[in-house]
Structures are given as C-alpha cells and as structure tokens.
Amino acid sequence: MNTCKYTRYTLGIKNEEFNLPKTYQSYKNSNIMKKTIFAFLLVLMIMPAHAQVNDLSETDIQAFKDRAGEVIDMFQNNLSILGGKKYSAKVKAVYKTSALKLFIGEGKPYTSPDGEKRKGVQMQVSSMRSGKETKQYVSLVRYLDNLIKLPYAEVKLTKADTYRISNIYKVGDHYEATATIFQKFEGFMGKEMQKTYSDVTQKNIKIYIMPENDFVLGQHWSVRLGDIEVVETSNR
C-alpha cells in the first residue's frame, strides 16, 4: 500500500539489480541459477520486513541504540541523585547541569536540526486523578528544579530494567528515535518514614542522533535527548 514514488528498498535488496558475484556470471542463463535466485527470494520473503526508515546498517543501528541506552542510564542516575535528600544543594547543582547537558540545547532555547526555534526541551506530564487524565506542560529545567525541591523527607527513585528504544528514523542530515523507560517514585514523610506517595511513570523520550564536530572527537555522531512525554501508569 506504499505509494512512495521514490525507489523502495525491501529486505535490503535493490529493486533494479542483484549485483551477482563474478563466479555466477557463467551460470546466468542456466536453470540452476534461476532456481537458486528463486529459492533465495523465497527465503527472504518469509523474513520479517521491517520499515525501511533509515539508511543505516544493522550494526550502526545497534551501536546507536546502545549509545542511546547509555545516555538514558546517565539521565536516570542523575534523576535519582536530584530527588534524593541526602545530597547537598551544591552536589545537586552539579548533577542538574550534568543532566541538562544530555539534552538538545542543554535545556535552554535552541534551534532544532530542522531550523525551527524551540523554547527549550519540554515535558508533557499526564496524571490520573479520580479516574480523569490531566496534562501539564513544563520545561525540563523547571521539572528538575521541582524534583530537587520536593517536600518529602526521603525520596526513592527506582529505575526499571525494562525499556524500549524504537526504530531509528532518518530526518534530513540526522536521525531520531524514541526511548521508553520506567521509573518508580516513592515519597516518604515524617520520622516514621511513612510512604505517602508512590507512582510508576513511563517516560517517552525523543532521541536525536546528530552529526557534531568538536576539537576533541572531531566529526562524530552525538546522541542527545529531547522532549519527554511522562505518563503516569497504574502499575504501582
């Protein structure tokens, strides 16, 4: 049902030719050759055909996903420290800066890769109250500040092992994807450390894989995080 007028690459094979090795040249007109090609195509047809939304090799895709996973891990670790009460304001300021550096524009207004001026990384926070979903929009900087200033005596942020990184999509000269992670938040109050709040949030984070050039690494691909959709789940 794809009506794209441009050349389609299905299953990694070009439509126009198969680029056969020279050793097969002598068998071009033979029945054996035709049967071999037919069998090869038959095998490939039963393989899952993934959306061809990028020009990356499987190795590159996995490398980018691994790097994105590392950046996400760093972000989650930073959040744990910002929410924890045992760290001083100075330590939290350092980790807040470190967390912001993981994001495109470092939390400040920026020009996106498509040339659009953006206000700064935004978070859309959805929550369920009395069965009704409410949504709020807040800048990443403010979200981190709010996390630091939470009134709880103790805060525990537990990250889940389960996460998912979507397919990587080509967008002009860079690539984009989405990472879905989970975090459990527990707030404790009073001397008895009574748990007064608990939720598990799903965070859908936009990922940018962009070409960058700097003095140390030269030309390289950089992974940065973008807007975040936060969904409060019912799985407590």
Partner 1 sequence: MTRMTNQRFMIRRIFALAVLALLWLAAAAQVLVTPPNEKLLQGRVKQVEEFISRFNLDETWQGRRTENPADTALRAKYIATLFDADRFSDGRGHLIPEAQQFVSQVVGGGWRLNFEDTTWVAEVVIDATLAQKPQRVKLYLATQCLAPYEYCWVVRNVSGAMFDVSAAENPYPVLSPIDHETGFMRLLDISYSDGRFTQMFGPDYHPDRLSMLAVLLKNRLLQLNKIASVRFHFFTVPGWSFTIERKEKKGSFNTGWLISKLNKME
Stretch that binds partner 1, among 93-101, 142-150, 179-187, 219-227 (CB under 8 A): 179-187
Q: Is 19 in the site for partner 1 (CB under 8 A)?
A: no
Q: Is 161 in the site for partner 1 (CB under 8 A)?
A: yes
| Closest distance to partner 1 from the beta carbon of 142 (Å) | 17
Residue whose CB is less far from partner 1, 32 or 46 = 46
| Closest distance to partner 1 from the beta carbon of 162 (Å) | 4
Q: How many CB atoms lie within 10 A of CB 44?
A: 13
Question: Which residue in 140, 143, 202, 226 binds partner 1 (CB under 8 A)?
Answer: 202
Residue whose CB is less far from partner 1, 65 or 92 = 65
Rounded to an integer, what distance in angstroms lies between the CA atom of residue 225 and that of residue 110?
13
Site string for partner 1, 105-124 (x = CB under 8 A): -------------------x
Q: Is 30 in the site for partner 1 (CB under 8 A)?
A: no
| Closest distance to partner 1 from the beta carbon of 148 (Å) | 19
Q: Contact at 8 Å (CB) between 157 and 184? A: yes
Q: How many residues bind partner 1 (CB under 8 A)?
A: 54
Closest by CA to 223, choosing from 153, 175, 161, is 175
Stretch that binds partner 1, among 19-27, 90-98, 157-165, 215-223 (CB under 8 A): 157-165
Q: Contact at 8 Å (CB) between 169 and 54? A: yes
Q: Is 54 in the site for partner 1 (CB under 8 A)?
A: yes
| Closest distance to partner 1 from the beta carbon of 119 (Å) | 14
Binding stretches for partner 1 (CB under 8 A):
1-9, 46-55, 124, 128, 135, 137, 154, 156, 158, 160-162, 164, 166-167, 169-172, 178, 180, 182, 184, 186, 188, 192-193, 195, 200, 202, 204, 231-236
